[in-house]
Each structure stands twice: as C-alpha cells, then as structure tokens.
C-alpha cells in the first residue's frame, strides 16, 4: 500500500465530473481503494473521493460509524424525507478551513463493492453528511460551493479561538 498525494483546491481535477468505473473488480481499483483508505487514515479524514487523489473516477471511501472503512464504487445517493441540517465540514483538499453546509439528514446509498457486488444501505447524521460531501467530489463540487452563509466559514484555529471567547 502507499500514501497518495492529495489534490488541493485550485487543481482542475477537483472541478471535473468523474467518469464511471468500468470494472469495479479490476486489480487497479482494489489497489486504489486500499491506498485511499490508508491515505484517509494518515490524514485523519472521515472520507476521501478518488478525484482528491488525482484519479477522475466515481468512487469514494469513508469511515463507518463502527470505525471501519467502506468503499462505494459508482455510487448514487437518494435522500430519505425532507429533513436537512446545517453542520460543519472540512475537506482534505482545503486544509485548515471549515464551513457550515446544509445537507440531507438521511439517505439511501447504492453502488458496488470491490468484488463487484451491489451495495445498498442507509445512512444518517454525520455519516450521511460525509457521503454527500464525497459524492459531490465526483461531480466536481467542493463544500464551499454549497455554502449559504459565509460568516460560517473560516480557519479552524480562528473558529476555535472565537468559540473559546464566546464560551
Ligand atoms: Ni472533501
């Protein structure tokens, strides 16, 4: 396994729609998923999408609620209900910053695993947020593009300092 170089905001690979994975069982996809999982863990991320490691394909990995890592290839997300919530997000491609983004609270996801089996599941709360964030990467969208209120955007250190002063 190997650590991959993470693309940072400004790199065109982050703005381009990614292409479907033709063969989820291909050895290079298995290797990519393993390397992405290692890269995500090394960077203490909650999720990582292939375009973030300069691979313009539709797949992402995320940290599951139980502390494991899952991968979804050619994912589709389907929102369950109308409920949304505002929550803080960061991105390994936008280091040091965070911002508040409105996301659906619950969703169903579909896709394939690295054995080519169909995957279906449900997610809520933080995991649902991470999946929406990662799916956006596959469409060339970064979380600031989803933001409604830029007063809720800043450097982690400054936001932490401001929160301490308030409290
Ligand atoms: Ni991100």
Host domain of residue 24: 12-166
Span 84-140, pLDDT tens digits: 999 999 999 999 999 999 999 999 999 999 999 999 999 999 999 999 999 999 999
Examine residue 87 and state whether it is found in any structural domain, yes or no.
Answer: yes
Examine residue 146 and state whether it is found in any structural domain, yes or no.
Answer: yes
Examine residue 7 and state whether it is found in any structural domain, yes or no.
Answer: no
Examine residue 65 and state whether it is found in any structural domain, yes or no.
Answer: yes
Q: What is the CATH number of the domain that holds 42?
A: 3.90.45.10
Examine residue 2 and state whether it is found in any structural domain, yes or no.
Answer: no
Q: How far is the CA of 84 from the centre of ligand 1 (A)?
A: 19
Q: How far is the CA of 123 from the centre of ligand 1 (A)?
A: 18
Q: What is the mean pLDDT of residues 35-53?
A: 97
| C-alpha pair distances (Å), 37 with each of 67, 84, 148 | 12, 28, 31
Q: How confident is the model at residue 167 (pLDDT cuts 50, 70, 90)?
A: low
Q: How far is the CA of 165 from the centre of ligand 1 (A)?
A: 29
Task: Establish whether 148 is a catalytic residue.
Answer: no
Mean pLDDT for all residues in the chain = 96
Q: How far is the CA of 158 from the centre of ligand 1 (A)?
A: 20
Examine residue 127 and state whether it is found in any structural domain, yes or no.
Answer: yes
Examine residue 6 and state whether it is found in any structural domain, yes or no.
Answer: no
pTM for this entry: 0.96
Q: Which of 82, 134, 148, 158 is catalytic?
A: 134
Examine residue 86 and state whether it is found in any structural domain, yes or no.
Answer: yes
Q: Number of structural domains, the chain?
A: 1
Span 136-163, pLDDT tens digits: 999 999 999 999 999 999 999 999 999 8
């Amino acid at each position: 396994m190997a650590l991959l170089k993470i693309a940072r905001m400004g790199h065109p690979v982050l703005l381009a729609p990614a292409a479907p994975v033709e063969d989820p069982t291909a050895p290079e996809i298995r290797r990519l998923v393993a390397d992405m999982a290692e890269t995500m863990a090394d960077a203490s991320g909650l999720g990582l999408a292939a375009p973030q490691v300069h691979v313009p394909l539709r797949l992402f990995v995320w940290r599951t609620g139980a502390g494991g890592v899952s991968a979804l290839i050619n994912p589709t997300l389907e929102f369950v209900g109308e409920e949304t919530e505002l929550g803080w997000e960061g991105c390994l491609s936008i280091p040091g910053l965070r911002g508040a983004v409105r996301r659906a609270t619950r969703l169903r996801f579909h896709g394939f695993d690295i054995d080519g089996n169909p995957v279906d599941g449900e997610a809520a709360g933080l995991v649902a947020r991470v999946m929406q964030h990662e799916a956006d990467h596959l469409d060339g969208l970064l979380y600031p593009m989803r933001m409604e209120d830029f007063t809720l955007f800043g450097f982690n250190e400054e936001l932490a300092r401001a929160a301490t002063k308030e409290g």
